[in-house]
Structure 1
Amino acid sequence: MAKVVAISGYKPSELGLFQKNHPAISFIKLAIRRELERFLEEGLEWVIISGQLGTELWAAEVVFELQQLHPELQLGLITPFLNQEENWNEQNKELYESVLIGADFVDSITKKKYEGPWQFRLKNQFFLEKSDALILFYDHEKEGGPKYLYETAQKYKENHPYDLRLFGFYDLQIIVEESQQDQY
């Protein structure tokens, strides 16, 4: 039974999604929602993210929607380092700020500004140790940033009971096709 679920995946730039209202985002959010609803049936209490642009902030928006039906569901935003958003554009900063305001818990793992990739590795390990499951938007055909968390999770699973749930582009294609069928 997963009480705490971490969520991560691709950033918008890795997907070529540069508009916040791109239709693909709604299908990504639907995939996240379906996974979270399964976990909610099993007693999910917390979702944790590191606040990265893309999958993680979209997941936060899904959590906020689900909180309307499940007020007990909580969101933790735990960044790898301080001020990760300082070089983002205004639109991305606004989205990040809205997630910060809505989160039930906010903290930073290293308590310092960005120093190097080690902070991301530390964040990946922290997330695996502090959660029961990981929902990861990752496809083996398109590696990108999620590859590192995926590989760390695979190693972690060798010695720990851990629920790793991936969804990729094929899963999104099925969701698109289902929604098109629903329209007819």
Structure 2
Amino acid sequence: MVKVLAVTGYKTHELGIFDEKHPGIKYIKKVLEKRLLSFIDDGLEWVLISGQLGVELWCAEVVIELKRNYPQLKLAVLTPFLNQESNWNELKKEQYNRVLQQADFVDSITKREYENPSQLKLKNQFIIEKSDGLLVIYDDDKPGSPSYYITYAKARTENSNYQLFYIFPDEIEQVYQDEMFDW
């Protein structure tokens, strides 16, 4: 049973999404919601993210919506370092701050501002260690940033009951197709 689920995926720029009005976000969120609901039915209590732009923040927004009907569900944002949003534009900072304000737990793993990439590595390890499973939006043909989490998750599955769950592009495409042809 997965009580604590880490969720990650691509950053906005890796998906070619540069505007929160992009139509693809709606379908990514629908797939995340569908998957999270199945985990909730099986006893999910916490969703962990690091707060990065893209899939993680969209997932947080889905969790915040789901909490209306599933108040037992909690959201934790464990940032890799303090002020990770300092170089983001104002719209992205607003989205991020809305999520932080509605999260049940917010903390920074390294307790200091960005110094070097080792803080990101530490974040990936820490979140995998603190969760029972990882849900990741991933495409084998486009490794990108999720591959770092996957490396730690795969290593953890080898000597524990840690679980790794994928959402592949065809699942998102299917949700899109279902909606387009739902007459």
Range of TM-score over shorter length: over 0.9
- Partner residue of 1:23? 23
- Partner residue of 1:48? 48
Distance 2:101 2:152 in 1: 30
The within-5 A match list for 1:161-172 is 161-172=161-172
Equivalent residues, number: 183
Distance 2:34 2:134 in 1: 14
Shift of 1:34: 1.1
Q: Unaligned 5+ residue runs, structure 2?
A: none
- Partner residue of 2:87? 87
Q: Report the AA paired with residue 111 of structure 2.
A: K
Distance 2:153 2:93 in 1: 29
Q: Report the AA paired with residue 152 of structure 2.
A: T
Distance 2:148 2:116 in 1: 15
Question: How high is the sequence identity, in percent, across the aligned residues?
Answer: 50
- Partner residue of 1:100? 100
Q: Report the AA paired with residue 121 of structure 1.
A: K
The within-5 A match list for 1:96-135 is 96-135=96-135
Distance 1:14 1:21 in 2: 16
Distance 1:39 1:169 in 2: 20
For normalisation by structure 1, the TM-score amounts to 0.97
- Partner residue of 2:158? 158
Question: Which of structure 1's runs of 4+ aligned residues deviate more than 6 A?
Answer: none
Q: Report the AA paired with residue 115 of structure 1.
A: E
- Counterpart contact for 2:128–2:149, Cα < 8 Å: no
- Partner residue of 2:148? 148
For normalisation by structure 2, the TM-score amounts to 0.97
Shift of 1:147: 1.1
Distance 2:89 2:160 in 1: 39
Distance 2:6 2:173 in 1: 23
Distance 1:133 1:154 in 2: 10
Distance 1:181 1:162 in 2: 37
- Partner residue of 1:76? 76
